[in-house]
Amino acid sequence: MTHRPWPGPRARGFTLVSLLVGLMLSMLVTLGMLGMFKVTARDTAAARRDASHDDQLVSGVMRVQTSVQDAGFGIPAAAYGAQLVVLAHASLDGGALAGTPAVAGGRGNAVVWASARAGTVQCAGVLAEADASGGGVLRHLAPVDCGSAADHATLAWTASTWADVPATGAALAFTAEAGPCVPYGQAGLASALRLTVSGSLSTGSPFDDRQCLLNFRS
C-alpha cells in the first residue's frame, strides 16, 4: 500500500494582479492628496493677498486722515480752491504734478492742501494712481513752500510711497464738499469742508471714509 505525504497548508502570497490593484489605489490616494494640497495652497495665497491689500489700504487711508487735518491751518478764512484742491486725472512726472482742478463735490485722484506755520505757507498732498498690475499706489507729496494749493502745477514735488495696493484693488479717490460735520463726537458743525476717501476692499465692497476739515468752516 502506497502512502502519499500530507500536502500541508497551501502557500499563500500576492499575485501580480493584486499588486497592480494596490499600486493603482495608492496612486489615486496620492493624486487626491496632491489636489487637496494645491487647493489649500491656492486659497492660502489668495487669503494672504487679500490681507495685504486691506492692510495697505487701511494704512494709507489712516495716513491721509492724519495728514489732511493740516489743511488750512494758520490761514484765516481758508477756502476750497485756494487752501485745498482736488485734482482729477492727476499724474506726477518727475517733480511736476499735472491734473484738472475739480469743483467742490467733484471726484479726483489727488488732493493738495496748504497750511501756514510761523508765517511760512507750505503745500503738501497725496496722489493715488493705478499701477501696471491693475492695483493702486498712494503717494505722499512732501511739504514744499508755496503761495496756495492753487500753485500745485508750478511746484517741484518730492513723492514717497505710502501704500502699494495689490492687483486685487484699485486706486483711491477723493471728494471735497461742504456739509454738516460731527468731528470726534463733538457737537456738530452746521457746515464745514469734508474730504471723502473712497476705495474698494479685497472683497470688492466699496467704502467711503469722511473727514471733517476743521480749518474750513463756513
pLDDT in tens, 55-69: 777 778 888 988 999
168 occurs within a structural domain: yes
Structural domains of the chain, count: 1
pLDDT mean over 14-19? 73
pLDDT in tens, 143-155: 999 999 999 999 9
**Residue 153 DSSP one-character state:** G
Element (H, E) at 211: strand 206-217
State pLDDT tens for residues 44-58: 666 676 666 677 777
Per-residue pLDDT band for 180 (boundaries 50, 70, 90) equals confident
**Longest CA span, the chain:** 133
Structural domain including 195 reads: 52-217
Contact criterion met (CB below 8 Å) for 128 and 185: no
* Letter string b/e over residues 77-91, b meaning 16 or more CB atoms within 10 A of that residue's CB: ebebebbbbbbbebe
Gyration radius from the chain CA atoms: 32
pTM of the model: 0.75
Length of the chain: 218
Instruction: Answer for the pair 139, 161: CB distance below 8 angstroms, yes or no.
Output: yes
